[in-house]
Structure formats: C-alpha cells, structure tokens
Amino acid sequence: MNKRKHNNANDKQTLLGENKMAQARTLNEKELNLLLLYTNTRKHAARDRAMVLMTYYAGMRIGEVAATKIKDVLGIDGNIKLELNLTAEQTKGRHARTVVLADKLRKELHTYLQTRFSTKELIALTYSDQINKPLFATQKREGFDANTACYLLHMLYKGAGLENCSSHSGRRSFATKLSKSISMRTLMELLGHRNIQTTARYCDVTSDMKRAAVELV
C-alpha cells in the first residue's frame, strides 16, 4: 500500500470514529472564517463553501445536503428560493421538513450555481431535466451520497487545522448560536427534530454565553 492510500485509509478510520462521537465540536466565528479561508484555496471552492454553509447557516444534516436537488433551491425566476422543502426520502428520520434559507446562504448558493450555469441557463433549468439533478456534483459522479459528503467535510476541517470537528459541527454550531436568542420550540422546528429534548442536547453552553448571563445579574 503506497503512502497516499495508507493516509486515506487512516482518514476513513478517523471518520468512522467521528461518526461514533456523542457530540461534534461547535465552531465560533473565527474558526468558521478559518475554515472558509482554507476552503477558498480549493479547486471546487464555491461548491465546498456552499455545502459547509448549508450545515452552518441552515442547520442541515450532511445527508440532507447531499440529497438536495437543484429543483429544491432554484425558483422558476432563476433565483434561490426562500425555503427548501425536503421530502421524507431526503431526511434522516424520513419525515418531510422545511428548511429556511437565510439571505447570506441564498447568496452563497446562487454564487455556486453561477459557477456551473449562466443566468440564462439557470432560468432555462426549470424547464429541463437537469433541474432534477443533485445540487452538488462530484468530479466522478453526478452527486454525493451521505458518506462521500461526510468525508469531504472531514477533509475540509482537517485541512483547516480544526480538530475534533465532523460534518455535524455546522449543525451543532447553528443550534448553539440560535439557542441564545430564540425559543427552544422554534429551534426544534428549524432543526427538524420531533422531540425538544433532542434539540436541547445539540446546544453547547459556551464561556461567552455564561459571561453574558452573569452580566445580567
């Protein structure tokens, strides 16, 4: 086995270990920016950024990101939709749910699609079979599956020097950040959970949050 194959094997073993972790590490703004700076150096920067930010800005599971199709995000006017409606087949728990897309995420998705299609082509997509294709394409295949997307994010975090992170880090960061300002019920809906206790386990209590809390006394 050559060195590259050996390293890939080790990476996959590490990834399997990450999948068994009870909690993935959450990111602060500085760490997210570090991750995006590294991502910008890669060949498929717009695609990789968009995939990362769908987990961080929308709280999506990586399997849901991989299962998203162009038609799920692209409106008939060639603009990105305000909401993404996932079918039961596209979600982990096999329960259809709606994902709200923040304006900054919609801009990222539009930028990514513009690396693949012109403005005219984006509008024309809604009338062609291409609209049913996966949103994120790989070099060798038409789209990612959950495992290959998970591995991609693992390598991005590793390349950025961020330890103990996994494809779930963006989703947990989303939950932790929003838990400071919205109700747990609203957060439960945004994450697509059916049990509020599951949502509570997603939220870290950071040093900044504790500091802000005691200043209220």
- pLDDT computed for residue 95 by the predictor: 87
Read off the pLDDT of each residue in 165-172 and give the average, rounded to a whole number: 93
- pLDDT computed for residue 147 by the predictor: 93
In a domain, 123, yes or no: yes
Q: For residue 210, what pLDDT band results from cuts at 50, 70 and 90?
A: confident
Q: Which residue has the higher pLDDT, 70 or 213?
A: 70
In a domain, 152, yes or no: yes
CB 51 within 8 A of CB 94: no
The residue range of the domain holding 104 is: 9-214
Residue whose C-alpha is closest to residue 45's, from 108, 91, 98: 108
CATH (domain of 63)? 1.10.443.10
CB 61 within 8 A of CB 73: no
- Give the whole-angstrom CA distance, residue 41 versus residue 106: 22
Could you give phi then psi for residue 140, rounded to 5 degrees?
Answer: -100, -20
pTM above threshold 0.75: yes
In which element (H, E) is residue 103 found?
helix 103-114
What percent of the chain stands above pLDDT 70? 88
Report how many domains make up the chain: 1
Residue 3 has pLDDT above 80, yes or no: no
In a domain, 2, yes or no: no
- pLDDT computed for residue 79 by the predictor: 92
In a domain, 35, yes or no: yes
Longest CA pairwise span in the chain (Å): 61
pLDDT digits (tens, 9 = 90+) for 20-73: 444 788 999 999 999 999 999 999 999 999 999 999 999 999 999 999 999 999
In a domain, 144, yes or no: yes
Residue whose C-alpha is closest to residue 129's, from 64, 70, 81, 65: 70
Q: For residue 141, what pLDDT band results from cuts at 50, 70 and 90?
A: confident
Per-chain mean pLDDT for the chain: 86
In a domain, 198, yes or no: yes
